[in-house]
Structure 1
Amino acid sequence: MNTRPLPLADDRSSERGDAARNRTRLLEAAALLVAERGVDAVTMDDVAARAGVGKGTVFRRFGSRAGLVRALLDHSEREFQQGFLFGPPPLGPDAEPLDRLVAFGRARIELVEVQGELLRAAESAAESHYFAPSHLVSLTHVDALLRAAGVGGDTRLLATSLVASLEATLVLHQWRELGYPLRQLADNWAELAHRVVTGTSASARDTRVVT
């Protein structure tokens, strides 16, 4: 399976060291404010004041509040991408495709617990987050896992449906408004993954192993 990462949005790999440090400083200030107040309450003025710079510096760096939110999401997504492409199993390589698929969904739901508001804001801020590089990375990864597991048919379309079930907007609604514990949502993802890949439930497979 090809595990070469796709470029994430706003890739700054060629950015000069001092510029990269300043950008990191602004992102760290923004992340602290999001953690304290929630993403909807954070303004560009707030970020500038926390980082000790003028508001114009923030606008020159990120363009708009939506650009800042996307940059914050990129920082989080890079770490997540490193985990499922190069990290230890079962999330990373050297595990069976089904086990990696289950681990991917569980890790994504766990991320929503910590950064759900940021993820939700990024989904709503983008004109179409379905074309965002970070989304395409996850979609390509799930598609590859399905094919490696021997799933037939249009795996890209199937992967699109699976990834959609992990979007922060939906997970937050299920958790906060419908009252489903995050652990139950993660277990439901595991059940869904088993049914898609094997045609049977996880509990049914465990029963066969025991008997």
Structure 2
Amino acid sequence: MHERQVAGLPDPAFGPPPRERADAARNRSRILTVAAELFAEHGVDGVSLDVIAARAQVGKGTLYRRFGSKAGLAAALLDEQDKELQRRILFGPPPLGPGTDAATRITAFFDAYLALLDANLELVRLSETAAPGVRYQVGSYRVWQRHLAVLLAAARPGADAEVTAHLLLATLDADLHHALRRSDFGLDLIRSALRGLIQKVLEG
């Protein structure tokens, strides 16, 4: 199962994750630690699964069985950050968490996800481009879409919140942000433009 698929939130479409054996859990933790170190040192494109397996002292087959590909490994590294963002949305203080108006929470979500994306752009891009349409199949995307649809319905009663949520999430596509960065658009400019776009959508 793709690591970002359930992303820590209850979902009737999925059961609880299977319990790992202690040795499997240790191997998984070591692989993720080593992968994070190597990606930080050499960039995601500069590190092969062979190198990760060698430094983690596990067989290449073990790594492939556990993660399937480098994209699966990238998704696993992002999983905890996805879960933390979800916890902040559900239980954290406003404006990201409950306790303020829907429009403010929508802007706060985009600010928070943009920060996560900026810090992990290579990993997110790899996880989202591993296969056609994979971005829309993972559980974290469905969580973000559901969250935005609920807030949009509250902020703009009568609007088509479901499709608008998908369209707004398209602005957070990692491949798009990679292209923007290659065009020398900085994070502050991107954030400002995105806030302006969201405001126009909310104003209808």
- Segments of structure 2 that go 5 or more residues without pairing to the other structure are 1-8
Range that drifts further, 15-24 or 139-148: 15-24
User: Which AA in structure 1 matches 2:169?
Assistant: V
User: Which AA in structure 1 matches 2:184?
Assistant: G
User: Which AA in structure 1 matches 2:140?
Assistant: S
Q: What's 1:115 paired with? A: 120
The 8 Å contact of residues 112 and 172 in structure 1, kept in 2 or not, is answered as no
Range that drifts further, 5-14 or 116-125: 5-14
Kindly state the Cα deviation for residue 135 of structure 1 after the two structures are TM-superposed.
1.2
Answering whether residue 164 of structure 2 is matched by residue 158 of structure 1, we say: yes
C-alpha change, 1:133 and 1:150, in structure 2 (3 Å) is: same
C-alpha change, 1:192 and 1:9, in structure 2 (3 Å) is: farther
Answering whether residue 154 of structure 2 is matched by residue 148 of structure 1, we say: yes
Partner deviation per Cα, 1:19-43 (whole Å, 9 max, x = no partner) = 3343122112112211121212221
C-alpha change, 1:11 and 1:46, in structure 2 (3 Å) is: farther
Query: Following the alignment from structure 1 to structure 2, what is the Cα–Cα distance between the partners of residues 8 and 86?
Result: 23
Partner deviation per Cα, 1:55-110 (whole Å, 9 max, x = no partner) = 22212211233322232232332222222222222111222211111011111111
Q: TM-score, normalised by structure 2?
A: 0.84
Kindly state the Cα deviation for residue 144 of structure 1 after the two structures are TM-superposed.
1.1
**Matched-pair identity in %:** 44
- Other structure's SS at 1:41 match: coil
Q: What's 1:183 paired with? A: 188
Superposition CA RMSD, Å: 2.5
Q: TM-score, normalised by structure 1?
A: 0.81
Query: Following the alignment from structure 2 to structure 1, what is the Cα–Cα distance between the partners of residues 195 and 83?
Result: 24
Aligned pairs, how many?
A: 195
Q: What's 2:5 paired with? A: none
Query: Following the alignment from structure 1 to structure 2, what is the Cα–Cα distance between the partners of residues 65 and 81?
Result: 24
Query: Following the alignment from structure 1 to structure 2, what is the Cα–Cα distance between the partners of residues 194 and 119?
Result: 26
- Segments of structure 1 that go 5 or more residues without pairing to the other structure are 200-211
Q: What's 2:199 paired with? A: 194
Q: What's 1:32 paired with? A: 37
Partner deviation per Cα, 1:149-168 (whole Å, 9 max, x = no partner) = 23423211111110010112
Query: Following the alignment from structure 2 to structure 1, what is the Cα–Cα distance between the partners of residues 119 and 61?
Result: 30
Partner deviation per Cα, 1:103-156 (whole Å, 9 max, x = no partner) = 111111111221001011111113422122121111111111101223423211
- Other structure's SS at 2:147 match: helix
The 8 Å contact of residues 72 and 127 in structure 2, kept in 1 or not, is answered as no
The 8 Å contact of residues 66 and 125 in structure 1, kept in 2 or not, is answered as yes
The 8 Å contact of residues 109 and 171 in structure 1, kept in 2 or not, is answered as no
Kindly state the Cα deviation for residue 11 of structure 1 after the two structures are TM-superposed.
7.0
Query: Following the alignment from structure 1 to structure 2, what is the Cα–Cα distance between the partners of residues 11 and 71?
Result: 17
